[in-house]
């Protein structure tokens, strides 16, 4: 039996729907590749493509002058007071993410297909197809930031154009197109101005034609009798005019060779992709199946292997200029659900859950860039809504604005103050893994702590600070409105942000104040059901059937509550997890549950959550996921979060602890996980079976950690540069 996992997927037919198109991306540009030999379409996307809808002018509500009165009313028992803490505006969605256009290559029909197959190669980032002597290969170059597309066939004849007529495209889109012949082939351009806006986007495709004849057929070109065509495409969003000729010249400076461009790209992509691999000892016959056939076998280890590989590939491909959106970096429709936004109260946070452990610093760097660009807007939010210094992150963003303006009575997202801590947590984890503190993270943490200094001014009868107003995304108490007091998530985020900021600024007066403030926050509350309460305020009753698990933030992603350090609270958290319903079966809800279950050493619930996603028809043939069962609503949550779930079930780490095999689901009885990055500065290879496990720890710094296995706890002394082999009995 082969122990080499499959690093790709394939299909025996072209994609009939854009959701099934294979994906490639470099963190800036994305491409959805259909692989049709007679209508070869590549839909081009870019992280910056958002349609103006008024959100570009929106500002946070100026409510700071009314904050004290709201706090007084909530503390006095007015359970609906926060419903009036608004400036009366209607719900404003952030600017929607959209595709640019399709590069379309039409070829005369040539009879029956001969051995048709399309492939996605995760290790190279290529999406390819072949049919007889016709081949088509596409990748988004990490080295040159260009979509590279190469088509070959004997006597190749093609009609090529840039086609903006994609589903949901607005009727008022003003489009101009150009085509010109060049000595090497041709150049095509498309410029689209948004309705009612001075913003536009421009795409340019350079054609390098080998052999044959090229003629203009405006707005495209016709290639006849060629050996091959190389197409190089870039997109830019911009205000005003963009010089098309300048972009054409820039593309003209690139080497006109697919292989040369591919090698430059591979030096960056392949290295990143292969850092971490998972082998579940799957049946080679199942590994050989096309993805669509494998998806029909939800209990197959081969399916988990492929989805793990695809999840890391898509996460890497979507992370660059920005981290992944709700749709990653891809869409074939202008009408993206929830604007294709960055949703920051669970979705992006779940998608980036494996960035450190799965060794994708490209993703944490993309998160750094998004935060750095938006910090000035986060400061606006803190001043306008709360009259405070420091920063407050919004719950939704289009990637251009970090202002908090998307809120309503049912979703008072402008009241949520925990977002900055959750977004900064992967960056803190990254710093722990590499053993050095990034000044950018230190500065953002300090601003988060300063917000809490100004905001946390009210106290309860016991002298504890009160988080008021407080909001638990996206739930409300059974007997109160959404905006209330002491949401468990807000308490944990404030404590963590203050203490972590202090750790990044040791020995300073700021650190002393921040520690003291954190110590004054109240403890978590256990309700009458024995569960960790979602609101640590007497009298507020839990509402259990909800997709979000915000109140268990202390368990995951934090380590405030663990079975090792706080067993009583861990038991209460486990009870809260058991009582939580699944509401609408959203994929992110199931996998959020799995991450928490893994931290609480509940292998059965990890397995159940995975089974609900794998058995619920949540994945397209592209192996990109959907938000709801039966492939309803294209969404990257499940695709990008699944690798984190499998890693957390097998290996967990903090700067002081290593946990091996905490919650191995029944679907993974044996296997090998290689290259996992720990937060105490080591990489780890793990092999396990029903009889036992073997781990090789490769530390980059000398450290002592608490090792936890099914056999109990031991101290592990690691020396930088010296591999350590551990054996674990699983009997």
Does residue 477 lie in a domain region?
no
| Contacts for 243 with CB less than 8 Å, ≥ 6 apart | none
- Section 434-454 average pLDDT: 98
pLDDT score for 110: 66
CA 24/CA 330 separation, integer angstroms: 9
- Section 462-480 average pLDDT: 97
The yes-or-no verdict on residue 19 having pLDDT over 90 is yes
Q: Is the dihedral of CA 308, 314, 316, 321 positive or negative?
A: negative
pLDDT score for 111: 60
Domain count, the chain: 1
Does residue 351 lie in a domain region?
no
pLDDT score for 18: 98
- Report the b/e string of 27-47 with b at 16+ CB within 10 A: bbbbbbbbbbbeebbbbbbbb
Q: CA angle 253-257-259, nearest 5°?
A: 130
Place of tokens 């405030």: 560
Does residue 300 lie in a domain region?
no
The yes-or-no verdict on residue 731 having pLDDT over 70 is no
Would you say 395 and 406 are in contact if contact means Cβ atoms under 8 Å apart? Answer: yes
User: What is the percentage of the chain residues whose pLDDT exceeds 70?
Assistant: 99
CA 98/CA 43 separation, integer angstroms: 11
pLDDT tens column, 233-265: 999 999 877 788 888 999 999 999 999 999 999
Question: Residue 267: in which H helix or E strand, if any?
Answer: helix 258-273
Length, in residues, of the chain = 731
Does residue 203 lie in a domain region?
yes
Beta bridge partners of 257: none
CA 343/CA 339 separation, integer angstroms: 10
Would you say 79 and 70 are in contact if contact means Cβ atoms under 8 Å apart? Answer: no
Instruction: Tell whether pTM > 0.75.
Output: yes
Would you say 625 and 347 are in contact if contact means Cβ atoms under 8 Å apart? Answer: no
Q: Is the dihedral of CA 690, 691, 693, 694 positive or negative?
A: negative
Of the candidate ranges 57-61, 107-111, 400-404, the one whose mean pLDDT is the lowest: 107-111
Pair of tokens at residue 361? 């610093």
Does residue 18 lie in a domain region?
yes
pLDDT score for 730: 72
Chain centroid, CA 324 distance in Å: 4
Q: Is the dihedral of CA 608, 612, 613, 617 positive or negative?
A: positive
> What is the SS3 assignment for 301?
helix
- Section 50-60 average pLDDT: 97
CA 98/CA 32 separation, integer angstroms: 13
CA 6/CA 122 separation, integer angstroms: 9
Does residue 141 lie in a domain region?
yes
Q: 112 falls in which pLDDT band (50, 70, 90)?
A: low
Would you say 466 and 486 are in contact if contact means Cβ atoms under 8 Å apart? Answer: yes
CA 397/CA 50 separation, integer angstroms: 11
pLDDT tens column, 529-553: 999 999 999 999 999 999 999 999 9
pLDDT score for 424: 98
Would you list the DSSP string of 363-413? HHHHHHHHHHHHHHHHHHHHHHHH--SS----SEE-SS--------SS--G
The yes-or-no verdict on residue 3 having pLDDT over 60 is no
Place of tokens 């990143």: 272
pLDDT score for 1: 39
H helix count then E strand count, the chain: 16, 27
Q: CA angle 335-337-341, nearest 5°?
A: 105
Q: Which domain holds residue 247?
A: 8-50+95-279
What does pLDDT average to over the chain?
96
Q: What is the CATH number of the domain that holds 19?
A: 2.70.98.50
Does residue 216 lie in a domain region?
yes
Would you list the DSSP string of 83-141? GG-S--PPP-PPPPB---EEEEEE----SS-SS-EEEEETTTTEEEEEETTEEEEEEE-
CA 472/CA 525 separation, integer angstroms: 15
CA 502/CA 498 separation, integer angstroms: 6
- Section 196-212 average pLDDT: 96
Q: 2 falls in which pLDDT band (50, 70, 90)?
A: very low
Would you say 157 and 107 are in contact if contact means Cβ atoms under 8 Å apart? Answer: yes
CA–CA distances in Å: residue 686 to residues 101, 361, 504, 673, 694? 44, 21, 32, 5, 6
pLDDT score for 620: 98
CA 594/CA 645 separation, integer angstroms: 6
pLDDT score for 380: 98
The yes-or-no verdict on residue 321 having pLDDT over 90 is yes
Pair of tokens at residue 17? 């729907």
What one-character DSSP code corresponds to residue 56?
A: G
CA 401/CA 420 separation, integer angstroms: 15
pLDDT score for 244: 85
Does residue 689 lie in a domain region?
no
């Amino acid at each position: 039996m082969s122990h080499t996992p499959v690093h790709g997927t394939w299909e025996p037919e072209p994609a009939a729907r854009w959701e099934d198109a294979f994906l490639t991306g470099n963190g800036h540009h994305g491409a959805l590749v259909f692989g049709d030999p007679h209508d070869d379409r590549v839909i081009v996307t870019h992280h910056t493509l958002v349609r103006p809808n008024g959100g570009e002018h929106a500002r946070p509500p100026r409510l700071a002058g009314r904050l004290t009165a709201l706090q007084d009313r909530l503390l006095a028992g007015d359970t609906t007071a926060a419903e009036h803490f608004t400036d009366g505006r209607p719900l404003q969605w952030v600017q929607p993410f959209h595709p640019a256009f399709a590069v379309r290559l039409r070829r005369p029909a040539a009879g029956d297909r001969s051995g048709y197959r399309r492939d996605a190669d995760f290790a190279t980032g290529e999406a390819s197809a072949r049919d007889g002597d016709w081949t088509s290969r596409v990748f988004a170059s990490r080295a040159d930031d260009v979509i590279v597309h190469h088509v070959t066939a004997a006597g190749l004849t093609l009609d090529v154009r840039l086609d903006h007529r994609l589903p949901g495209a607005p009727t008022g889109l003003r489009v101009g197109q150009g085509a010109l012949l060049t000595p090497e082939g041709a150049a095509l351009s498309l410029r689209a101005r948004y309705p009612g806006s001075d913003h536009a986007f421009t795409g340019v495709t350079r054609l390098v034609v080998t052999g044959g004849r090229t003629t203009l057929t405006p707005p495209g070109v016709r290639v006849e009798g060629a050996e091959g065509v190389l197409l190089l495409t870039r997109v830019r969003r911009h205000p005003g005019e963009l010089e098309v000729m300048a972009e054409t010249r820039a593309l003209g400076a690139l080497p006109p060779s697919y292989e040369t461009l591919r090698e430059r790209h591979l030096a960056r992509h392949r290295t990143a992709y292969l850092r971490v691999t998972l082998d579940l000892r799957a049946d080679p016959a199942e590994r050989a199946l096309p993805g669509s056939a494998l998806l029909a076998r939800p209990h197959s280890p081969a399916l988990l292997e492929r989805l793990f590989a695809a999840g890391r590939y898509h996460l890497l491909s979507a992370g660059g200029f920005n981290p992944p959106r709700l749709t990653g970096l891809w869409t074939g429709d202008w009408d993206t659900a929830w604007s294709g936004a960055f949703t920051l109260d669970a979705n992006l946070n779940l998608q980036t859950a494996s960035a450190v452990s799965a060794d994708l610093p490209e993703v944490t760097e993309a998160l750094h860039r998004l935060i750095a660009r938006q910090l000035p807007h986060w400061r606006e939010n803190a001043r306008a809504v709360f009259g405070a210094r420091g920063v407050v992150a919004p719950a939704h963003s289009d990637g251009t604005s970090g202002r908090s303006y998307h809120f309503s009575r049912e979703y008072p997202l402008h009241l949520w103050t925990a977002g900055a801590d959750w977004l900064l947590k992967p960056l803190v984890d990254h710093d722990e893994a590499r053993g050095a503190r990034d000044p950018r993270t230190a500065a953002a943490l300090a601003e988060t702590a300063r917000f809490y200094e100004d905001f946390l001014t009210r106290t309860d009868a016991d002298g504890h600070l009160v988080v008021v107003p407080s909001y638990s995304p996206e739930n409300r108490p059974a007997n109160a409105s959404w905006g209330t007091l002491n949401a468990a998530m807000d308490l944990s985020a404030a404590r963590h942000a203050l203490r972590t900021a202090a750790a990044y600024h040791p020995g300073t007066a700021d650190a002393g104040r921040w520690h003291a403030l954190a110590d004054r926050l109240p403890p978590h509350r256990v309700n009458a059901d024995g569960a960790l309460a979602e609101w640590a305020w007497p009298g507020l009753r839990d509402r259990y059937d909800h997709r979000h698990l915000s109140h268990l933030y202390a368990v995951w992603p934090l380590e405030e509550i663990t079975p090792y350090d706080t067993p009583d609270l861990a038991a209460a958290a486990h009870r809260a997890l058991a009582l939580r319903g699944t509401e609408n079966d959203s994929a992110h809800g199931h996998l959020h549950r799995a991450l928490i279950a893994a931290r609480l050493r509940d292998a059965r619930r990890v397995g159940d959550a995975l089974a609900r996603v794998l058995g619920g028809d949540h994945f397209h043939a592209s192996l990109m996921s959907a938000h709801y069962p039966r492939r309803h609503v294209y969404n990257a949550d499940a695709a990008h979060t699944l690798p984190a779930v499998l890693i957390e079930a097998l290996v967990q780490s903090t700067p002081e602890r290593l946990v091996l095999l905490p919650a191995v689901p029944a679907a993974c009885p044996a296997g090998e996980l290689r290259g996992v990055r720990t937060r105490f500065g080591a990489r780890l290879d793990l092999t396990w079976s029903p009889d036992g496990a073997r781990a090789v720890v490769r530390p980059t710094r000398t450290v002592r950690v608490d090792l936890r296995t099914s056999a109990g706890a031991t101290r592990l002394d690691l020396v930088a540069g010296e591999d350590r082999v551990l054996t674990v009995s699983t009997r």
